[in-house]
Amino acid sequence: MAIIVNLDVMLAKRKMSVTALSEALDITMANVSIFKTGKAKAVKFSTLNKICEVLDCQPGDLLAYEKGKE
């Protein structure tokens, strides 16, 4: 996929676990893991907004585009 998910980087910077993030977002660890690994086909803006609030970051800190990657 050309969209790269950097959630693991932001979690490390904030010293937060996937478990803590899933609890803060009130979503399952499985759904957080799907997003973190880049396997998600879509993400709701409301979920992205919550992630940014909890991690105190911008969407661009979580997502990047790499041309030619599929």
CATH number for the domain spanning 26: value is 1.10.260.40
- Evaluate whether residue 70 is within a structural domain: no
Position 61: which residue type?
A: D
- Running along the chain, 70 residues long, what does each successive block of 10 average in pLDDT? 91 97 96 94 95 98 86
Predicted structure pTM score = 0.88
**Sign of the C-alpha dihedral, residues 23, 25, 26, 30?**
negative
Q: How many CB atoms lie within 10 A of CB 31?
A: 14
**Domains identified in the chain, total number:** 1
- Evaluate whether residue 23 is within a structural domain: yes
Expressed as residue numbers, the domain containing 56 is 3-65
